[in-house]
Amino acid sequence: MKLWKKSLVFGLVMTSMITLSACGGAQDNGSSSNPSGSDNQSSAANEGNKAEKVKIVFAQGNDQTPATKKLIDAFHAKHPNIEVELRDFPNNSTQMHDQYVTILGGQSSEIDVMNLDVVWPAEFAQAGFLLPLDRFIQEDKIDLSNYLQGGIDAGYFAGQQWALPRYNNAGLLYYRKDLVKSPPKTWDELIQQANELKGQGGTKYGYVYQAKQYEGLVVNFTELAAAYGGQVYDDKGNVSINSANTIKGLNKLIEISKSGFVPTDIKTFTELETRNAFIEGAAVFARHWPALYAQAIDPKVSKIADKVGIAPLPAGDVKSAAALGGWFAAINKYSKHPREAWEFLKFMVGPEGQKIIAIDSTQTPTYLPLFDDPDVQKASPLFANREFVEGLSAAVPRPITPLYAKISDIIQVEVSKAIAGEQTAEQAVQNMEQKIKAAK
């Protein structure tokens, strides 16, 4: 399978180089720190000796698969002088975000490498929490065109690369292929089929998605708004959410949420409830991430393992749009071992690290050549699907802004009120425009 690759050109201005040089000075000091206090003489005496073992701490949400342990073991085998200690954080992204902010806001060096949600790099970079990666990338000749473009873009802010993608994904439409003759191409077709097929084949619902007031609701709003041509910011960074296109997309989300084919408690649904409803055979259609596929076709956990189909999310008037998701690796600016931290980050996002993640956790790799790897293709049929892989490259990012957390909260509240019938789509969009413009 030949995959299209889009090259990414980085231009580094002089101020960036000065900043990176300053980071290099901090790196040298941290790497050569000596607890005994005998600095110059000890360094001279130890010159030429085998490097002492350095410990770095890697922070991420708790991984319930064997992937992270295998990845760290593989890194240790290649870098015996760098010990990686894993520190688990909550899998709830909001809680993880807040704990990171507390640690990094205090300029703590207690973690070195961290997993970042796709929407955090700009915020953390603006706050001064992250170490720029450009110099490392240039020195080690990392070819960023080998990665999914959306993932590279999401880690790029204010002229510098702050994070690299570990795995990316985008929303998919799951459906019961024993009930659905042809998956819907448009949201109107989905509404029609969900109404007609609800109750067939043991189902209770026509469609399930993430409607609880949390980040998942922002994702679904982003997809519907983009499908009808709406966006939060225009290409120049101006707030452009208050448009007829955004209103049309939100109205479609309201129509779905108020329909008789979704659960009456749809406003409590997260990814977990959506997953459970679908693999239990209760829903005809479900909007979810790619990682669900391996579980949905596994007869050990799924009641519909041989009845699962996937398709792109339906289109609106403009296009089919799937929100970009995933996690990134970044380095704490205050790490005492930035060079060692980079070696681990480079390994994680490189071919070997991403292959381990793809096979042992079925998360979608972002390193494009891996989609041609037979072992990776065996891990999930999705990875051998050309349309799925190329669709990831066209995924719609959520706003790349250092204010993302505030913007997300605004969208969550206003969209939640709209689907609950407490305000119209027009009122919700007007409120979002005013509050986003006032956010600082």
Give 271-288 pLDDT, tens digit per residue.
999 999 999 999 999 999
398-432 confidence digits (pLDDT tens): 888 899 989 999 999 999 999 999 999 999 999 99
Write down the pLDDT at residue 27.
35
pLDDT per position as a tens digit, 168-217? 888 999 999 999 999 999 999 999 999 999 999 999 999 999 999 999 99
Give the pLDDT confidence score for residue 362 in this predicted structure: 77
pLDDT the model gives residue 236: 81
CATH 3.40.50.620 fits 54-168+325-393, yes or no: no
Enclosing H/E stretch for 257: helix 244-257
Task: Look at residue 6 in the predicted model and tell me its pLDDT.
Answer: 37
**Averaged pLDDT score across all residues of the chain:** 87
Q: Give the pLDDT of residue 155.
A: 93
Q: What is the pLDDT of residue 15?
A: 35
**Buried (b) or exposed (e) across 36-71, using 16+ Cβ within 10 A?**
eeeeeeeeeeeeeeeeeebebbbbbbebeeebbebb
The reported pLDDT for the residue numbered 394 is 64
Bridge-based pairing state of the strands 160-161 and 156-157: antiparallel
CB 286 within 8 A of CB 273: no
Distance of alpha carbon 242 from alpha carbon 363, whole angstroms: 35
Domain pair 54-168+325-393 / 172-322+403-438, same fold: yes
Angle 146-75-85 from CA coordinates, rounded to 5°: 120
* pLDDT for the residue numbered 64: 82
Residue ranges per structural domain of the chain: 54-168+325-393, 172-322+403-438
Q: Which amino acid is at 429?
A: V
Q: What is the CATH number assigned to the segment(s) 172-322+403-438?
A: 3.40.190.10
Greatest C-alpha distance within the chain: 81
**Given this model, what pLDDT does residue 391 score?**
67
Q: According to the model, what pLDDT value does residue 387 have?
A: 67
The CA distance from 42 to 38, in Å, is 6
Kindly give, in sequence order, each residue whose CB lies less than 8 Å from that of residue 188, ignoring residues fewer than 6 positions away: none
Q: Which residues of the chain have pLDDT under 70?
A: 1-51, 387, 390-391, 393-394
pLDDT in the model for residue 30: 36
